[in-house]
Amino acid sequence: MSTIDINSFWNQVLNDTKKVLADVVWEQMIQQALFPTGFDPTKAVLQLAAMQKYKMDFILGNAQLSTTLQQIITNLALKNGFIGEDESIHVIITAIDTNQSAELIAAYPLTATPTAPAAGEDAPKPASDDVPYGEDYTETYADNLYGRTGEPLPGEVMPPAAPEPKRPAPANLNLNRPVYTDPILIDRPTAPTDDYGTLDEGLFAPTYAQQGKKPNQDSLITLPEDTLKPDIDLSDSTLNPSFTFESFVQGGSNQLAYAAALAVAERPAERYNPLFIYGQSGLGKTHLMHAIGNRLLETHPSLKVMCITSENFLNLFVESIRSKQNTAFRNKFRRVDILLVDDIQFIQDKRYTGTQMEFFHTFNDLMTGAKQIILTSDTLPKDMDQMEDRLKTRFASGMVVTIDPPNPEMLEAILKSTIDRERVKYPSLQVPNEVIRYLGKQFNKRSIRDLQGALNSLIMSADVDHRLDAIDVEYTRQALRDLIPDDEEPALSIHYIQTFIANFFQIKRDALLSQKRNKQYAYPRQIAMYLCRELLNESYPGISNAFGKKDHTTALHAYEKISKEIEENKDSRRLIDEITGKLKGQS
């Protein structure tokens, strides 16, 4: 048996199935639904993953489709010399949303073997009537297989509409509606019925495409319900206009995420819904998500795009309950066309069950209305220990893409593009290639935020020293000695921790040491004080003094607050672990 490049084999399968299936069937049931995950030549087993179980069921349950797929795979395996004449390939499909597997075609004997006819030849006749191609068998079969314009023929297999949502009788709606007395402490209702009377199943309502409409064209902005829709309050949406596709550098570590994001920006609510962007902190998830929102607003200015962090969603939800504005809150989120939620892992804490429930219903409403949802997270759905299961499965039900830590080449490309932008502000700025290479190497596998923080520090210090046009490696090493722990193992000191934390949170060191009380500065300051105590065992008066505080209880208070938070909140624990690791040069 030859060795096989599974991707090129799958490309052949895609090509051949495209020739014999209607475009809509091929696109939705093969191209967008299946991808290969493994091939075992010794057992002649090909493993495929299906994006959703209902698509897997449809393929398996449809004799025409499954037979065609099985035969084409077997044919190609024979042609490539992977199997002998009388052998066939066993195709196992696993649905990634439920992890259920089944073997293709087990129920169907091999019959006709579709192969494209040579020019001038008639299309081959199927060998048996087991393949239900329709009433006018010969004609339909030949027409269906070859010279397709993509339009399905009458009676031909069509992709399924998504499972119909099960809506309870309207009379039950109010009975099951939970009463939010304290949003943070709400427990998940144990009743088997859906608590709002909305959708617990049947997330996938027919999309625009399934309804025969093109969502990325005028339909999204001119649908009657859109024009009749009352104005939606988007004042809480915080789309950063500088996070665009144009300013996002693509490379090996983010290629798939970039391609999926672009596809969503071009055809929202059609292919990857929800789009779940996963990756460690500072690798570009937020940037990419905002790029989708910005592009959509550029191409469809009337789209209602809501971009928010999950923390803000939680705060607004709590506030809406306090002020009895639940309806306004729901209208705000459930009527948008595009919902972008950053750091969705934040609401996974058990204390936020009420917010999770609210988000669940927001999610369902939007999906049934064929609206696009995009989520970012530093935790994969399956690893969100305290997130409700029904949310976890929904998060993973569309497309999950990962952004990996960048390699030096990628970092260099990002540096070059950032330096070009900085030159608008500092026209004399010159950063030689050797410095760019040096920084790329030093920040290998670290976050892009760290790298940008270092570049900012470098530019600021060169500006102060009047040598924006004379930056070299030695100067860079000196200027960034506190930020490059790998280079010359700087001793851990209060000064080092202060600089590190300021860069980590992207604030100025002066602001960290100032009296400013906004959370943006106060929280990093408390973390820095906590770390000075924890890692250096510095005295509270010493720490308070180093932060310009006269009262030594400031450091004590900060230490106690952060210690308590770590105990109670997994995300805070993770954040402090991440910072500690980096401070010690372990990550």
Ligand X SMILES: Nc1ncnc2c1ncn2[C@@H]1O[C@H](COP(=O)(O)OP(=O)(O)OP(=O)(O)O)[C@@H](O)[C@H]1O
Residue list for the binding site for ATP: 282, 284-286
Among 239, 341, 399, 414, binds ligand X (CB under 6 A): 414
What are residue 339's DSSP bridge partners?
306, 373
What letter would DSSP give residue 100?
Answer: -
Cβ distance to ligand X smaller for residue 283 or 340: 283
Interface residue with ligand X, options 281, 430, 461, 514 (CB under 6 A): 281
Segment near ligand X (CB under 6 A), from 46-54, 141-149, 169-177, 275-283?
275-283
CB of 288 to ligand X, least distance (A): 7
SS3 398: coil
In DSSP terms, which residues pair with 376 in a beta bridge? Answer: 277
The reply on whether position 273 binds ligand X by CB under 6 A is no
**What are 338's two structure tokens?**
């595009």
> Minimum CB separation from ligand X for residue 289, in Å?
8
Which of 124-132, 176-184, 215-223, 282-290 is the region at the interface with ligand X (rule: CB under 6 A)?
282-290
Residue recorded with tokens 């050797």: 434
Give the shortest CB-448-to-ligand X separation in angstroms.
4
Output the six-digit token pair for 42: 């010794």
d(CA 240, CA 235): 13
In the set 207, 216, 237, 254, which binds ligand X (CB under 6 A)? 254
Residue ranges in 425-454 that form contacts with ligand X under rule CB under 6 A: 448-449, 452
Total residues at the site for ligand X (CB under 6 A)?
A: 20
C-beta of 282 vs 293, nearer to ligand X: 282
Rg (CA), the chain: 28
Closest CA to 277 of 451, 409, 404: 404
CB of 384 to ligand X, least distance (A): 14
Least distance in angstroms from the C-beta of 434 to ligand X: 22
Pairing of strands 90-95, 45-50: parallel
CB of 417 to ligand X, least distance (A): 6
Judged by DSSP in three states, 186 sits in coil
Contact characters 221-250, ligand X, x per CB under 6 A: ----------------------x---xxx-
Task: For residue 440, give the nearest of 456, 455, 460 by alpha carbon.
Answer: 455
Nearest to 530 by CA among 515, 517, 518, 547: 547
Identity of the residue, 70 or 309, whose beta carbon is nearer to ligand X in the bound complex: 309
DSSP character string of 110-123? ------PPPTTPPP
Site track 470-499 with ligand X (rule: CB under 6 A), x = hit: ------------------------------
Our CB check for ligand X shows the closer of 294 and 376 to be: 376
CB closer to ligand X, 105 vs 289: 289
Q: Give the C-alpha distances (Å, rounded to integers) separating 112 from 152, 386, 549.
A: 20, 51, 83
> Given candidates 76, 283, 303, 512, which one binds ligand X under the rule CB under 6 A?
283
- State the nearest-atom distance from the C-beta of 254 to ligand X, in Å: 6
Question: Measured from the CB of residue 282, what is the shortest distance to ligand X in angstroms?
Answer: 5
Question: Which parts are annotated binding residues?
Answer: 282, 284-286
* Residue 509 is a binding residue for ligand X (CB under 6 A): no
Choose between 307 and 370: whose C-beta lies nearer to ligand X.
307
To the nearest whole angstrom, how small is the minimum distance from the Cβ of residue 377 to ligand X?
8
As given in the structure block, the two tokens for residue 458 are 């470098």
Give the number of residues written for the chain: 587
Question: What is each CA distance from 171 to 167, 320, 327, in whole angstroms?
Answer: 11, 26, 20
Q: Does 540 bind ligand X (CB under 6 A)?
A: no
CB neighbourhood size of 203 (10 A): 23
Residue in the block written with tokens 């917010």: 355
Is residue 230 within a helix (H) or strand (E), and if so which, with residue range? none
Closest to ligand X by CB, 217 vs 242, is 242
Residue 282 binds to ligand X (criterion: CB under 6 A): yes
Sign of CA dihedral 161, 165, 166, 171: negative
- Kindly state whether residue 287 participates in binding ligand X, applying the rule CB under 6 A: yes
Q: Using alpha carbons, list the distances in angstroms from residue 558 to 495, 534, 573.
A: 17, 12, 15
Exactly one of 97, 194, 337, 378 binds ligand X (CB under 6 A); which one? Answer: 378
Token pair belonging to 16: 């051949």
Among 114, 279, 354, 440, binds ligand X (CB under 6 A): 279
Task: Calculate the CA 543 to chain-centre distance.
Answer: 40
Which positions from 325 through 364 interact with ligand X, judged by CB under 6 A?
343
Residue of this chain nearest to ligand X (CB atom): 284
Residue among 243 and 443 whose Cβ is closer to ligand X: 243
Nearer to ligand X, 239 or 249 (CB): 249
Provide the Cα torsion 570, 572, 574, 579; round to 10°.
Answer: -170
Q: Inter-axis angle of helices 433-442 and 408-425, to 10 degrees? A: 130
Shortest Å, Cβ 414 to ligand X: 5
Nearer to ligand X, 223 or 413 (CB): 413
**Both ends of the chain: CA-CA distance in Å?**
43
Residue numbers at the binding site for ligand X (CB under 6 A)? 243, 247-249, 254, 279, 281-287, 343, 376, 378, 414, 448-449, 452
